[in-house]
Amino acid sequence: MSASAPARVLVTGGSGFLGAEICRQLTARGTETVSLSRRPSAALTRLGVRQVHGDLTDPAAVDRALAGCDAVVHNAALAGSGGPAGPYRRTNVDGTRTVLDRCRRHGVRTLVHTSTASVVFRPGGVVNADERLPHPRRYLAAYPHTKAVAETLVLGAHGPGLATLALRPHIIWGPGDPHFLPALTRAVRGGRLVMPGDGSNLVDTTHVRTAAHAHLLALDHLHQGRPVGGRAYFVAQGEPLPLRDLVLALLAAAGVRAVWRPVPAALAHAAAIVRETAARLPGTTGTHGLSRFLVAELVHPHWFDLTSARTGLGFTPPLGVAEGIREAFEAAGRPTAGADLLARFLPGPTPPSTAADPAGTKRPPPPAHPASPGTEKGTARP
């Protein structure tokens, strides 16, 4: 571990999907790591992470976790596609306020906040957006709205005593994914994946190792006093792909064979309005399910210009989408099926999203070749 890196780091939400990978990468380089989460984790115990259990909005619990720490990765959040605003506000906004307040009291030098690219998402999609794109005036769901408020709080707290920045990863996937892939798997019925739109919209994603790697880069740059604070940075693979191709490849890696069956976006939007209306009834507490926000993200493009992260933080994804999918096939014991699918699906590296044509106009990377019909077990069909 470099002397210019933090000596002891608190990771809020360390028992979660991304939080656990951040803890793994921190401990791998010799950084003393503490986790604040609501439940114990055997995986963190094996890593030697000190675990503090408590609520993010409880100052006493945050104080216990912060003892002796000189840096924080504030990763904990309530995520979801719908549901009432109250639980999101409590965790994402009130929890962030508590963490910032206790960091100041404990003299913490550095805080990296896990935001989300969804803070800039709007109907119609986001194409090659950089950090100059403002937050929208209105949000389709409480999750992106409360994350935008939290991001504003974090960036506003940046100053001489506490250096802060925010990272905006997008659709995190990889080994142990408890959200994205399981939701897709549950949606498959009788070999059919009924989805709004035809899946041709380009979407960028973030492998969990890539997302965690970006957090360590941000920690070190902030801690070394480099002029990167007070800003947000998009973080992704830099490989926008047609949503249908990516989804079917991930399902195939999980052993789920599916055929994409599109439904009209307008019909899905109307169904989402009905679902959201029902969700407002007393006693409703769910955070997932059909929503206008989810429909919009499934129908419209969303990919980003990663120049700021590349130049400011030295960010480069440690692996590509194809490698991540190949690893998933290998972990499932089906490397041949993975190689066959990837030869058709991702025959070569995708140019970065910042590539320009000779005239200097930025163009999207060419879509990956659609998955073609096949007979091998585990091969996705369009």
At residue 143, what is the residue type? Answer: Y
Report residue 298 as tokens: 């499934």
Integer CA distances (angstroms), 210 to 10, 156, 264, 267, 367, in order: 20, 26, 34, 36, 21
Q: Are 208 and 21 in contact (CB under 8 A)?
A: yes
Element (H, E) at 303: strand 302-304
Q: In the chain, how many H helices and how many E strands?
A: 14, 16
By the 10 Å C-beta count (0-12 exposed, 13-18 middle, 19+ buried), 160 is classed as exposed
**Which of these, 66, 87, 67, 69, lies nearest to 77 by C-alpha position?**
87
Tokens found for residue 380 = 């996705």
DSSP states of 196-264 as a string? Answer: ES-S-SEE--EEHHHHHHHHHHHHHHHHTT-TT-S-EEEES-S--EEHHHHHHHHHHHTT---EEEEE-
Q: Which of 88, 139, 143, 233 is catalytic?
A: 143
Closest CA to 317 of 142, 172, 130: 172
Q: Which residue has the tokens 């369009």?
A: 382
Reduced to 3 states (helix: H, G, I; strand: E, B; else coil), residue 124 is coil
CA angle 32/36/41 to nearest 5° reads 85
Active site residue 139: no
Identify the CA nearest to 185 among candidates 255, 104, 133.
255
As a whole number of angstroms, the distance between CA 137 and CA 310 comes to 28
Catalytic residue positions, numbered = 143
